Amino acid sequence: MLVKNVFRQNSFYTALYQMIPDNHILKQIDSAIDLSFVNDLLADRYCKNFGRPA
């Protein structure tokens, strides 16, 4: 049985992000600043069992 390869988009936001030009100011800021520490700071504000991660 042959399986047809179908493109599946990860998320709507991924498609939108790809439409933004690489020289856009927000993309430049995103590449220059690491805000990953925010998830650790806010971890106790979100339920670990339900919903999406912060």
Is 21 domain-assigned? yes
Q: Which residue has the higher pLDDT, 6 or 16?
A: 16
Is 25 domain-assigned? yes
Side chain identity at residue 54, one-letter code: A
Instruction: Measure the CA dihedral 20/26/29/34, to 10°.
Output: -80
Overall number of domains in the chain: 1
Is 6 domain-assigned? no
Is 28 domain-assigned? yes
Is-above-0.95 flag for pTM?
Answer: no
Question: Mean of the per-residue pLDDT values for the chain?
Answer: 81
Residue 21 binned pLDDT confidence (cut-offs 50, 70, 90): very high
By residue range, what is the domain housing residue 32? 16-42
Q: Which residue has the higher pLDDT, 39 or 37?
A: 37
Cα-trace Rg, the chain: 17
